[in-house]
Amino acid sequence: MNGNSGDAEWFRTFSPAPDAAVRLLCLPHAGGSASFYYPVARALSPSVEVLAAQYPGRQDRHLEPLIEDIPTLADRITEELSAYRDKPLALFGHSMGAVTGFEVAQRLEAQGRQPVELFVSGRRAPSTVRSSERWWHLASDSELVAEIKSHDVAGNELLDDPEVRAMLLPTIRGDYRAVETHVSRPGASVRCPVTAFTGDSDPKVTVEEALAWKGHTTGAFHAEVFTGGHFFLSDHQDAILRTVSARLASLIGV
């Protein structure tokens, strides 16, 4: 199947690559949208076809109810991926997207559809729990805005507009609730290889917490540490995508 049935709702294909040997599903961070991965789709095409997930409650799906728990979100994404069975699939997720990707990978493997690789970025391993970490989804609007703006990511300036802020904050808060209240089942792991990317000064993830992803796969594990904070990937996109391309090429033999 060509997967077009899912394009109008859950996935965006910014740079169609019908002859690509592999697809890469990219999963956004809390408050993020599919458009965050537009540069990735352009950079990897035509050797890799990128699907960018569009969660409900944002951009063209802003009228749809939010999904405020990771298991339900992962269930829906896995269901939508049933239309994409004609070629190997890899997963890439940043922050909340990494958590979601890990859950989707487990579901796919339970169906006998092992991803060729899971790329996790900007997120500590499920087994590393911070008991004292603040739950930002319970913070006031002003505190939540300050937390978001503390991370240098394109588009944060939109929160300076009161009308835009009022429109965006419920979605952001719902995403924070989903990821902050999520607890993986004890001993959760995948069989597919896992590659972890992290920033050396990310306040949300220490290098040790990122390396702990090794304990959540029975396959090969690879990790790379870059300079920067939580959105280090914006400054190191080229290097990260070189690794992604090389890993996929080695795994599927292209």
For 97, phi then psi, to 5°, come to -65, -30
In the chain, the DSSP E strands lie at 11-12, 22-27, 48-53, 89-94, 118-121, 194-199, 221-226
The answer to whether residue 95 is catalytic is yes
Q: For the chain, how long is the longest CA-to-CA vector?
A: 51
Whole-number Å distance between alpha carbons of 77 and 50: 15
Q: Is 178 exposed, middle or buried (0-12, 13-18, 19+ CB in 10 A)?
A: buried
Task: Supply the DSSP string of 227-240, one letter for each residue.
Answer: SSSTTHHHHSHHHH
Of the candidates 29, 204, 20, the residue with the CA atom closest to the CA atom of residue 100: 29
- Of 33, 95, 121, 184, the active-site residue reads 95
Catalytic residue annotation: 95
